[in-house]
């Protein structure tokens, strides 16, 4: 989209922003982006466990997800090269989607007890292809949406991303129970056709004339441009903000299932409440976030949603204090994931705002990878902290650790700045 067009739509009403074809594109590409991740974190563990694979081995499969964190290392390739006649973005999107369709279908043909090594290779292929698809889709969405559409488009993308979990996390499990795992993987893989059809249906919006001319420039120039645009001091503050904005929130949910078990809830109670509240509360949060950002800019949304995100952590502290209470569990989980939805939409829209059209793939991949670092830290450290200080004090610590990210908003996203 050209700068002239972006300026011409800068003062549109919410109907013009919400009811256009670009939002429909965000729905289908968001679904295609989320589906492979939920295959890895929901369908794969269920399949391996029912086939007799031990929990330790299943846990080690999580290490294969590292490409999601390190995807910025190969993102310059997607900025530099157009691999098909479809263009830089659509070409990479189509190739990764076809690879994902084939890999997801193929993996269901193996028996874990007999072909675990082959399954590891296929899971790695799914992870790399999925992370690469995310790079291309994020860059395409950044180029597709006007500045005043970033908030709403991001909210729609995030909602579709999460709704895709119903295929590998619900439909596939039902099919496996009735017809076997092979059909479950075949049907799940076939849903990648949603992304393939959409990729073939849309037009390329990337301007090939501004693409990096060499691989060296594709690697170096995104960092140089980011520093030049913001200044070294402001750039460091933005990167620090990426690390800290969701630190407390990520730590709070890192070991929530063991927390619920330790409060006396059964697995059935936890599963039922989380199914009813976590998914739909996070979707509600991202919907509300998208609607609010139609009226407010991204900066003010970061402030408002950040406050809700911080306060929602205290719901888990209250649950730790109250103990076993299904009502309190429902309230705490719903409030927490509502805050998660709000914070995710605002932060993702802010990341898009901080990227240059010319280097969208590399800068978007770098910033989203950086924002994922706190989640890795949380998963590795929270168990030690909880054992040392107990759940109630731990959630108070999470609340405190969320404050520095909010304070950085004074520098990186001032309330009064309207752009």
Instruction: Provide the CB-side half-sphere exposure for 22 (13 A, CA).
Output: 23
Query: Are 189 and 53 part of one and the same domain?
Result: yes
Domain annotation covers residue 325: yes
Number of domains in the chain: 2
In a domain, 84, yes or no: yes
Are 96 and 10 contained in the same domain?
yes
Q: What is the pLDDT of residue 34?
A: 92
pLDDT digits (tens, 9 = 90+) for 198-243: 999 999 887 666 777 788 888 888 888 889 899 989 999 999 998 8
Assigned domain for 161 exists:
yes
Confidence of residue 10 (pLDDT cuts 50, 70, 90): very low
pLDDT band at 18 (very low <50, low <70, confident <90, very high): low
| 419: in domain | no
Closest CA to 85 of 200, 219, 180, 173: 200
Answer yes or no: is 30 within a domain. Answer: yes
CB-side exposure of 143: number of CA atoms within 13 Å?
26
Q: Roughly how many angstroms between the first and final C-alpha of the chain, as a whole number?
A: 18
Does one domain contain both 200 and 258?
no
Task: Note whether 123 and 228 are same-domain residues.
Answer: no
Q: Check whether residue 238 and residue 122 sit in a common domain.
A: no
* DSSP calls for 187-198: HHHHTTHHHHHH
Higher pLDDT, 55 or 147: 147
Considering the domain boundaries, does residue 105 fall inside one? yes
Specify whether 192 is located in the same domain as 278: no
- 408: nearest Cα among 251, 235, 240, 232: 240
Are 180 and 222 contained in the same domain?
no
**In a domain? residue 418:** no
- pLDDT tens-digit series, residues 174-205: 888 888 899 999 999 999 999 999 999 999 88
We report the CATH number of the domain holding residue 358 as 1.20.1250.20
Contact 190, 59 (CB under 8 A): no
Q: Maximum Cα–Cα distance for the chain, whole Å? A: 61
* Domain final position from 210, 241, 257: 210
Mean pLDDT of the chain: 84
Q: How far is CA 139 from the centre of its chain?
A: 14
Quick one: pLDDT at residue 376?
Answer: 64
Give yes or no: residues 182 and 222 share one domain: no
CB atoms within 10 A of CB 396: 17
Alpha carbon distance 8, 268 (integer Å): 53
Determine the pLDDT at residue 94. 96
Q: Does any domain span residue 417?
A: no
Q: Do residues 334 and 186 touch, judged by C-beta distance below 8 A?
A: no
CA gap 301, 415 in Å, rounded: 9
Mean pLDDT of 376-383: 68
Among 195, 210, 225, which residue terminates a domain?
Answer: 210
* Whether 310 and 328 share a structural domain: yes
Q: From its phi and psi, is residue 323 left (phi > 0), alpha (psi between -120 and 50) or beta? A: left
Query: Could you tell me the pTM of the whole model?
Result: 0.77
> How many helices (H) and strands (E) are present in the chain, helices listed first?
24, 0
Report the C-alpha gap between 278 and 275 in whole angstroms. 6
CA distance readout (Å), 219 to 1, 107, 399: 24, 34, 37
Residue 229 near residue 67 (C-beta atoms within 8 A): no
Q: Within this chain, do residues 229 and 197 fall inside the same structural domain, yes or no? A: no
Cα three-residue angle 98-139-412, rounded to 5 degrees: 145
Eight-class DSSP state of 39? I
Give the residue from 166, 187, 210 where a domain finishes.
Answer: 210
Q: Could you list the residue range(s) of the whole structural domain that residue 376 is in?
A: 215-412
- Predicted confidence (pLDDT) per residue in 86-145, tens digit: 888 899 999 999 999 999 999 989 888 888 889 989 999 999 999 999 999 999 998 888
C-alpha distances out from residue 122 to 116, 130, 169, Å: 10, 12, 19
Give the side-chain half-sphere CA count within 13 A for 44.
28
pLDDT at 274 over 80: no
Cα gap 81→75, rounded to integer Å: 10
Q: How confident is the model at residue 284 (pLDDT cuts 50, 70, 90)?
A: confident
Residues 171 and 264 grouped into a single domain: no
pLDDT digits (tens, 9 = 90+) for 41-60: 878 888 887 888 776 777 67
Kindly state whether residues 123 and 258 are assigned to the same domain.
no
Contact 36, 202 (CB under 8 A): no
Residue written as tokens 């993102």? Answer: 75
């Amino acid at each position: 989209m050209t700068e002239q067009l972006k300026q011409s739509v800068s003062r549109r009403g919410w109907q013009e922003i919400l009811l256009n074809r670009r939002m429909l594109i965000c729905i289908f590409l968001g679904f295609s982006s989320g589906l492979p991740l939920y295959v890895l974190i929901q369908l794969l563990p269920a399949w391996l466990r029912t086939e007799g694979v031990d929990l330790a081995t299943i846990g080690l499969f999580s290490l294969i997800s590292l490409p999601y964190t390190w995807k910025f290392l190969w993102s310059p390739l997607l900025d530099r090269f157009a691999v098909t006649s479809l263009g830089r973005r659509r070409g990479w999107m189509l190739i990764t989607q076809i690879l994902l369709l084939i890999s997801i279908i193929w993996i269901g043909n193996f028996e874990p007890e007999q072909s675990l090594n082959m399954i590891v290779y296929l899971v790695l292929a799914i992870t790399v292809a999925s992370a690469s698809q995310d790079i291309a889709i994020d860059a395409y969405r950044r180029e597709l949406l006007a500045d005043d559409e970033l908030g709403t488009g991001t909210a729609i993308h995030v909602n579709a991303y999460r709704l895709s979990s119903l295929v590998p996390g619900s439909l596939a499990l039902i099919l496996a129970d009735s017809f076997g795992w092979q059909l479950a993987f075949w049907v799940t893989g076939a849903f990648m056709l949603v992304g393939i059809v959409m990729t073939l249906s849309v037009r390329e919006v990337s301007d090939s004339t501004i693409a990096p001319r060499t691989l060296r420039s594709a690697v170096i120039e995104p960092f140089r441009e980011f520093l030049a645009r913001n200044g070294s001091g402001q750039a460091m503050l933005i990167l620090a903000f990426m690390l800290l904005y969701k630190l407390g929130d990520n730590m709070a949910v890192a070991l929530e299932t063991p927390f619920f078990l330790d409060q006396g809830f059964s697995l059935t109670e936890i599963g039922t409440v989380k199914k009813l509240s976590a998914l739909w509360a996070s979707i509600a949060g991202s919907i509300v976030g998208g609607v609010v950002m139609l009226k407010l800019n991204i900066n003010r949304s970061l402030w408002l949603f950040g406050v809700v995100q911080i306060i929602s952590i205290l719901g888990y502290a209250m649950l730790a204090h109250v103990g076993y209470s299904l009502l309190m569990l429902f309230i705490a989980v719903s409030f927490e994931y509502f805050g998660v939805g709000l914070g995710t939409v605002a932060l993702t829209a802010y990341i898009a705002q901080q990227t240059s059209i010319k280097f969208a793939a590399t800068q978007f991949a770098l910033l989203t990878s950086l924002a994922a670092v706190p989640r890795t830290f949380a998963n590795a450290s929270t168990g030690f902290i909880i054992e040392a200080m107990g759940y109630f004090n731990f959630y108070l610590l999470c609340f405190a650790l969320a404050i520095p990210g909010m304070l950085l908003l004074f520098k990186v996203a001032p309330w009064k700045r309207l752009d």
